[in-house]
Structure 1
């Protein structure tokens, strides 16, 4: 029960931060990318503020043996840069630049029932499912080819 309440509170705080910072507003995001037009640098300050909180937070928390509500930390083990990482980053950036939404901003915007947010999240879920299918198909093909 503590994990559910904790997740709910963290989600509410995150959603409130996204809403207050304007990251749920696609126009604000698109204006950040519009260097030749109505450039709005405020997103850079939002990102800098997030890094200023996150970096010391990680340094402090990772000194612990385990998180408060789990038996251990679940950190990425891969340190290399590979094709899936590059492709995923490119798709994320292109989608963000085209739509003005990233997953962190689109999920809270769903609460406003904006059509753009609903379409973005549906496309995001479809993309996740296609990527998962392709990854599993590639693994299966590799496993049968190695056998």
Structure 2
């Protein structure tokens, strides 16, 4: 079996149901041909780019972040519980991936930050002596 690939199952399911209706009307016992046709439908289904899928929360204890999950600064988006004297609140912020991986009890959820689009370099401006 070749490598795993993501496909959009909705149009494939519709096509297979239409094909099943077609087979139901035909009086044929060509099971092998039917299986080959279904396999062709799966192989011709468009592949989904994983980068186009929305990010999802991951449990730090089950799947801790790795270096490759961080952005250019090594940050991931993480959730932590902050409490004061009376109550607490869940807050989400950017954290270095290794801190989230080392402290899953403090940062129970995380997700990779989305990749930035290609942006043009801004023109250089006078920065009051800081340039």
Q: Same fold (TM over 0.5)?
A: no
| Greater length-normalized contact order (CA 8 Å, ≥ 6 residues apart) | 1
TM-score (norm 2): 0.27
TM-score (norm 1): 0.25
Determine which structure has more spread, i.e. the larger CA radius of gyration.
Answer: 2
Greater helix content:
1
